[in-house]
Structure 1
Amino acid sequence: MLIHKKLVSFKNSDIVEMTVLKKGYDNLMDSAAQHLMIASYRNQLTHIFVRVAMIALPVNACTKDTLLLDDLYEKYVFLERLFSREFIFLPGNTKQDFEQALLVLAHTCGVVLQDEVVLIKPSTNKYTVFFSHMFEPFLMGYWVLCQHLLSMPQVGHGKLLAKPIQMLAKEAQMVAARLLREQLIKHPEILSLNLLNNGLIALYNMDALHKEKRGGNVYMSPNTVVLTKITENIAQQIEVPTVPVASINLDTKTVVVNAKL
């Protein structure tokens, strides 16, 4: 705590409070920097929990009474591909990792298996909720990124405009900043350029983006069919907001992001 005395302070009963920033100016990026610095400690744990979380997320989000293990595995594979730049997964180990994580949840976290299905009601508990909430910022960040990419202008024949990868990440950050200011989303981690860049590369590896070189620079343009499906799949894992087009379209108003995160 001594290292971060400018970020947090101790109060009575050992309560830790975030340092209150000055009023009277837009402190979004300052408060986000605070949050990201402290969240970096939590992120070290995400590498331990990511596999069980990739099962907990679809279990927690399921609206039916049961979920087939084959369907659960399909959702797990999707999340592993989406998280491929954030976390380390050994090639060829997907099925084994899934089965081991499922056993952990069944033996220690109350997930109930019966005849090749997961019983959703008894399996949805404080553990699945905890794991889902831990990884929600990543999924929300990718969802915002997808929304921005799908809002890009067309250049003809249904093809969307290609831009440098750095510009796409920066513009997505600006969209996230607007949504945070409008209180449509709540996770400051989404402003992280590392998260957004990782998302772009993962989407490219999932064939949701086309890549081309122009003058030595890498440009990317969305594959709307694949990207739309990925966006819909993300929205099945977490609760996403209803976002007005004006909040996604950068041409509607200027958004200033005054720091690099």
Structure 2
Amino acid sequence: MAHNFQMSNIRVLGYLFPKIYRNLYQHIYVNRAGIEKLRKTMKETPVVLLPSHRSYNDFLLMSYILYHYNLPLPRIAAGADFMAMKFINNVLRWAGAFYIRRSFGSDKLYWAVFTEYVQRLMVNGEAPLEFFLEGTRSRTGKSLPPKLGLLSVVLEPFLKGKVSDISLIPIGVSYERILEETLYAREMLGIPKPKESTSGLIKARSIFEDDYGSIYINFGEPISIRSLCEGHVDRSAYSLAPRFLFSLTKSDQRFIFELAYTVLLEQQKTLVISPWVLIASLLLQSPGGIPLEYLCKRVEWLKDVFVNLGGNVKWPVTKSTLSVVKASLSVHHTAASVSKNNHVYINSASTWTAPGEAHPTVAMTKEEVMTIATTHILLGSYRNQLTPMLKQAAMIALTFAKQLTLNKDIMMSRYRFLVNLMSKEFIFHPRTLVQDFDAILRKLEASYYLVISDDNISLTTQGTTLMQFLQKMFHPFVLGYWFACQYILSLNPDEEISTTNSLARDIQDTVACRIAEGDLFEYDILSLNVLENAVKTCIQLGGLVNNNRNYSSAGHIAGEADNQWEASPGCQAVRNWLQNPIDIWCSMVRISP
């Protein structure tokens, strides 16, 4: 488990990494102000670095940056999967990595050793601790729900008075192009992830022949646990408890749960998007291609919207929009290209039809559907980088549907439902729903997208344009959830499915058939991430209920412990609620519900 930090190894890596990164990336941008705040904080309290996790590259990137700025290098919590990589596992261990299991199960001895080891690192305070709050890499470009185990272990020394304070540092690591982008898209289609191995790493050396753009690293404001705990946590409750026992009160567990979401939301604020994210979002709404000149105008519009709503865009101010767009298309040449007539197309889209054109007369095979879907889902992973700043505005857009004016109470009721529905897709703070609702309304009103008069909220002309864009952008998620409900309600009573994952795969097969037959053109819905989240949400909202007894409803899922799940009226209610926006948007995507 333990690291074996060796400075000699760090010096070798410090020599090699600049050469490697120069071959892969154009630039690595770091906010110097964040670095200086981190330097000051390290002198005052134990520090925990919490970077976003989108690539294997994240592991040693922080170490490289801190080494460059002459700061103490972190001790990194890494998955035990890397122990299977001969030689590389030792290189990582010498660089400060220590390996932990993905799941501890009922192994109390391992839990005790792990807890003591991590807390000893925190109490000694010789170096910052680094781990990924999301637990694993996000394959979809969205933040994953936080894992609370390691965060709870890290905070216990403060709660029991072993340290006076702990500082959490949210860090946004944003890639213009992710090394594993194609692998991620295939994983979302159900192709298993290759196992970590040294031979696999050697075989992947062809990546050095391509251009992966730039990396943007943004260190957020330090979060003092002592300041956050004031008025919320009573540390005296632990004064008489044995210090060797790991135990947290229910109120402290709730505090840590809310803290994890606070950190993730702060982390999202530090993320920086590249122009390609804007381009990918617009291309997905124009699968039949888009004129380059018009694309540039739309990119400028979307950039302004994103910045107005609080997002960070890395935009070369000295270059024209046309040159920026062409440079981005050059980096992402595998996903999109410009034709001779100056139209931008998604690659592998030759079988698609532009809006208004006739449907294909020859049905595609499932393999052809999945091939096209790979590029589509790849683009979707970049589009999803817009969701942290746009998700609340999108929920407002979805409440409007096709209306131009809406009562505020009705909007709030719909907004609350949508947040609950999409809580597994996007990160919403569990305690600030009403405040977030009021804040986004004020922000949209200040940007002249909405007019609020008494209890009614109306769209302006530019607000209508924005709402239509957001409805189309989030439409695949809504449609995916609708398909999940539709499929669950269509199951025969005698059909049995072993896990929620297998149910998601069955729904995926159904969607693939609809696409192959020309009835559906939303490739995003093939993502297992969306479908699995939809099934879990059906369970969470009562659409699927656990039932170990005899049943007569539409289908059930037999879980690992012989649990049985059956469709309930809740599933019908969710499907019916989603039916209205589906009917409205059918004309946009040419689907036969």
Q: For this structure pair, what is the TM-score category when the shorter chain's length is used for normalisation?
A: 0.7 to 0.9
1:141-192 Cα offsets, whole Å, 9 max, x none, are 110111000001124xxxx856421221011101111222233332100000
* Distance in 2 separating the partners of 1:212 and 1:112: 48
Does 1:114 find its partner at 2:453?
yes
Match for 2:481: what amino acid? Y
Q: Give the structure 2 partner of residue 69 of structure 1.
A: 408
Q: Give the structure 2 partner of residue 88 of structure 1.
A: 427
Q: Give the structure 2 partner of residue 224 of structure 1.
A: 568
Q: Give the structure 2 partner of residue 251 of structure 1.
A: none
Corresponding residue to 1:56 among 373, 394, 397 = 397
Contact 2:407–2:455 (Cα < 8 Å) also in 1: yes
Contact 1:32–1:191 (Cα < 8 Å) also in 2: yes
Q: Give the structure 2 partner of residue 139 of structure 1.
A: 478
Aligned to 1:113, the other structure's residue is in SS state strand
Q: Give the structure 2 partner of residue 179 of structure 1.
A: 514
Aligned to 2:506, the other structure's residue is in SS state helix
Q: Give the structure 2 partner of residue 234 of structure 1.
A: 578
Larger mean CA deviation between 41-50 and 213-222 belongs to: 213-222
Contact 2:505–2:528 (Cα < 8 Å) also in 1: yes
Q: Structure 2 vs 1, CA of residues 220 and 50 (structure 1 numbering), >3 Å: closer, same or farther?
A: farther
Aligned to 1:39, the other structure's residue is in SS state helix
Contact 1:85–1:202 (Cα < 8 Å) also in 2: yes
Does 1:154 find its partner at 2:493?
yes
* Distance in 2 separating the partners of 1:36 and 1:152: 27
Deviation at 1:101, TM superposition (A): 1.1
Q: Structure 2 vs 1, CA of residues 80 and 220 (structure 1 numbering), >3 Å: closer, same or farther?
A: farther
* Distance in 1 separating the partners of 2:337 and 2:519: 29
Match for 1:58: what amino acid? T
* Distance in 2 separating the partners of 1:217 and 1:202: 20
Larger mean CA deviation between 6-15 and 107-116 belongs to: 6-15
* Distance in 1 separating the partners of 2:412 and 2:562: 34
* Distance in 2 separating the partners of 1:211 and 1:3: 49
* Distance in 2 separating the partners of 1:218 and 1:132: 40
Q: Give the structure 2 partner of residue 100 of structure 1.
A: 439
Consecutive unaligned residues in structure 2, runs of 5 or more: 1-328, 352-361, 549-557
Q: Give the structure 1 partner of residue 380 of structure 2.
A: 39
Q: Give the structure 1 partner of residue 534 of structure 2.
A: 199
Contact 1:55–1:76 (Cα < 8 Å) also in 2: yes
Larger mean CA deviation between 7-16 and 203-212 belongs to: 7-16
Match for 2:503: what amino acid? L
Aligned to 2:401, the other structure's residue is in SS state helix
Aligned to 1:125, the other structure's residue is in SS state helix
Does 1:7 find its partner at 2:335?
yes
Consecutive unaligned residues in structure 1, runs of 5 or more: 244-261
Q: Structure 2 vs 1, CA of residues 109 and 220 (structure 1 numbering), >3 Å: closer, same or farther?
A: farther
Does 1:18 find its partner at 2:346?
yes
* Distance in 2 separating the partners of 1:88 and 1:215: 27
* Distance in 2 separating the partners of 1:166 and 1:209: 14
Q: Give the structure 2 partner of residue 189 of structure 1.
A: 524
Larger mean CA deviation between 215-224 and 189-198 belongs to: 215-224
Deviation at 1:118, TM superposition (A): 1.8
Q: Give the structure 1 partner of residue 545 of structure 2.
A: 210
Larger-gyration structure (1/2): 2
Q: Structure 2 vs 1, CA of residues 54 and 222 (structure 1 numbering), >3 Å: closer, same or farther?
A: farther
Q: Structure 2 vs 1, CA of residues 188 and 22 (structure 1 numbering), >3 Å: closer, same or farther?
A: closer
* Distance in 2 separating the partners of 1:169 and 1:57: 24
Aligned to 1:145, the other structure's residue is in SS state helix
Could you tell me the TM-score, scaled by structure 1's length? Answer: 0.80
User: How many residues in Structure 1 have an aligned counterpart in Structure 2?
Assistant: 237
* Distance in 2 separating the partners of 1:21 and 1:134: 19
RMSD between superposed Cα atoms in Å: 2.8
Deviation at 1:207, TM superposition (A): 1.2
Contact 1:59–1:124 (Cα < 8 Å) also in 2: no
Larger mean CA deviation between 3-12 and 47-56 belongs to: 3-12
Aligned to 1:61, the other structure's residue is in SS state coil
Does 1:166 find its partner at 2:501?
yes
